[in-house]
Structure 1
Amino acid sequence: MIRINSITLLSVILFLFSALAGTAQDLIPTTRVSKGKLIAPELNEVSGVIASDANPGSFWMHNDSGDKARIFLVDSSANLLQIVNLEGVIAIDMEEIGKFKRDGKNYLVLGDIGDNRGLRKDIRLYILEEPVWEQGGKKENLIKSSQIQTIILNHDGRARDAEAFFIDPLDNRFFLISKREFKSIVYSADIFQDVEKHILKPLITLPFTFVTAADISPSGDAILIKNLTNIYYWNRALNESIQHSLSKPYKRLAYQQEPQGEAITFDNSGKTFFTVSERPFGLDSYLYQYNFSKPQN
């Protein structure tokens, strides 16, 4: 009985967010392929995913709040390859994972940015050089605390819940998107400034809410932002700022709703993208690949 009521409640929530999407912009057709079911018990509440640069064809994932400070390397068939633990990191509410390149090296950024109750004064990013996994390598790895950089972010003294960010590959600037306002807000910060705390500056308000994930293509020419019911897409012109790109009308991608889809990433080509869902009420979680029916750039 409880299970039926829970699923009914989820259906109502999805319906309400479909209504909040408003009038549809141009709908871009896509095709969806299931790459595999996440069967590893450790992957019980996936909240973030990013395509791996150091391990082509694989993905880094992490769980939502309640898990340890760790990330998971998963192959393109949704098989768990390796668990990477982060020494000295206390996980509060991990909600997103991103990446950037600097000085010829690949880095991951794990975002402890969630704040469901609106109580956190600061949020944190954890930066580490991306681990390289070799076929047949060990199933568990540890990143020492000395190899992890902590970035402290602040909304100028205000609490904000967020589950999505991306890093512009053109200049490594950080963009975070709030979740719970009636219209989500995009914030920005230079996380490489040598300061104790980085103030997130509001840039633009988006015409939708409850954002759960975002990504930018490896070349920086396309942006994806998703909530529970929709995926929104922007092309980015040459030399165009992120703020200007997101101020243009979005296009909506054809998307088959997942039970609680909170993760999205472009692949390394930027021509296709992947989504992953949590496992609400014991439902199965899959790695889905979406292909555009027509080239977008």
Structure 2
Amino acid sequence: MPGPHPRKYRLRLAFAMLFAMAMAACSREQPVPEDEQRGTRLAGVLIDPQLDEISGLAASRRHPDVLWMHDDGGNPERLFAVSTRGARLATLRVEGVTKTDWEDMASFELDGRDYLLIADTGDNGGLRRSLQLHIVEEPRRIENARLRPAWSIAFRWPDGARDCEAVAVDAKAGQILLISKRRQPPELFSLPLRPRGTALQTATLLGRLQGVPQPDAEAVRRNPQRARLDSQVTSADISPDGRTLAVMTYRWLLLYGRRGDESWGDAVARAPRFELLPWLPQAEALGWSLDGRHLYATGEFIPAPLYRITP
């Protein structure tokens, strides 16, 4: 069996060193007064080998201090229950679906039930003619188990294939939001949360995200490959109060606030609040805490920090 690619090996070695420092910082973490908790804190570290390639994250609405996560394509159809300190608590197999490229997830409440949405929307090659969203009800207990979707949605884009790694759910509006990854400015689409029947849906374009930071000429000169990636959207989530859409790129956290009852298309037409993300090994997973005060964020490789960001 061939050994790891030298560059990947060096990256993992660097991550391991950073992990050691992160663990030391985590062990020193002490509670602080509420009014001093602005900014970014290390909540925990993902070290379980099962949690490699995490690409989606959502806070449980049923179980306190539990995050749901899933990994990327090429792995079994499964969800992980993970503590807010980064420990894997349970693994749940999702039956009756085929995993092509799971890229994001969201949690929401509908008609008194708690659900998780899994987005099988990755399309690096731009070849998929249809994509799938799977909705499962949150289990009552945190334990190894098997789940089946409560419903699934098959859809297509209105004008050709595109990669998408960011979804969010506005349950009050009965709407799923999807954000394209590579196009600039990123495009915002919507789908119905509970479509009638099982017919193939077509996503509706709502608008384009304004104010996404772009690399300057010096950044392009220093590292053109990194500069091209920095503004690509990899995750999104709507705050529990329905007022703020958080969008993650490989480098930035963007916060689009909604005024009154305006549409999300109008909200993203204004420049967002944004801040630089803390160091993450390929930032791919982001989700609001249940109380809406924090965002949890992590990356795709292990060891990986699990951050709690208070915007």
TM-score normalized by the length of structure 1: 0.83
Equivalents in 1 of 2:68, 2:9: separation in Å?
Answer: 33
Residue segments in structure 1 that go unaligned for 5+ positions in a row: 8-28, 293-297
State the secondary structure of the residue aligned to 1:163: strand
Offset, 1:94: 0.2
Q: 1:199 maps to which residue?
A: 202
Aligned mate of 1:251, from 273, 277, 298? 273
Name the structure where helix makes up a greater proportion of residues: 2
Equivalents in 1 of 2:308, 2:267: separation in Å?
Answer: 25
Q: 1:59 maps to which residue?
A: 67
Q: 2:243 maps to which residue?
A: 221
Equivalents in 2 of 1:4, 1:201: separation in Å?
Answer: 39
Equivalents in 1 of 2:204, 2:286: separation in Å?
Answer: 24
Q: 1:288 maps to which residue?
A: 307
> Any conservation in 1 of the 2:208–2:265 contact (CA below 8 Å)?
no
Q: 1:268 maps to which residue?
A: 290
What amino acid maps onto 1:143 in structure 2?
L
What amino acid maps onto 1:199 in structure 2?
T
What amino acid maps onto 1:198 in structure 2?
Q
> Any conservation in 2 of the 1:169–1:219 contact (CA below 8 Å)?
no
Deviations 1:57-103 (A, max 9, x none): 11000001111111100011111111110112110000000122111
Equivalents in 2 of 1:197, 1:6: separation in Å?
Answer: 44
Equivalents in 1 of 2:90, 2:303: separation in Å?
Answer: 21
Offset, 1:262: 0.5
Offset, 1:157: 5.5
> Any conservation in 2 of the 1:121–1:157 contact (CA below 8 Å)?
no
> Any conservation in 2 of the 1:100–1:172 contact (CA below 8 Å)?
no
Q: 1:87 maps to which residue?
A: 95
Query: Which portions of structure 1, spanning 4 or more consecutive aligned residues, are displaced by more than 3 angstroms?
Result: 4-7
Q: 1:190 maps to which residue?
A: 192
Equivalents in 2 of 1:217, 1:182: separation in Å?
Answer: 24
Deviations 1:81-127 (A, max 9, x none): 11110112110000000122111101111110000001100010111
State the secondary structure of the residue aligned to 2:81: strand
Give the alignment of 1:5-154 within 5 angstroms.
7=11, 30-134=38-142, 138=143, 140-144=144-148, 147-154=149-156
What amino acid maps onto 1:192 in structure 2?
R
Offset, 1:254: 4.1
State the secondary structure of the residue aligned to 1:115: coil
> Any conservation in 2 of the 1:169–1:218 contact (CA below 8 Å)?
no
Q: 1:14 maps to which residue?
A: none
What amino acid maps onto 2:165 in structure 1?
E
Aligned mate of 1:242, from 258, 264, 280? 264
Equivalents in 1 of 2:69, 2:58: separation in Å?
Answer: 7
Aligned mate of 1:210, from 224, 232, 236? 232
What amino acid maps onto 1:3 in structure 2?
R
Equivalents in 1 of 2:157, 2:8: separation in Å?
Answer: 39
> Any conservation in 2 of the 1:170–1:219 contact (CA below 8 Å)?
no
Offset, 1:164: 0.2
State the secondary structure of the residue aligned to 1:153: strand
CA gap 1:4/1:267 in 2 versus in 1, 3 angstroms: closer
TM-score normalized by the length of structure 2: 0.80
Equivalents in 2 of 1:105, 1:150: separation in Å?
Answer: 16
Percent of aligned pairs with the same residue? 29
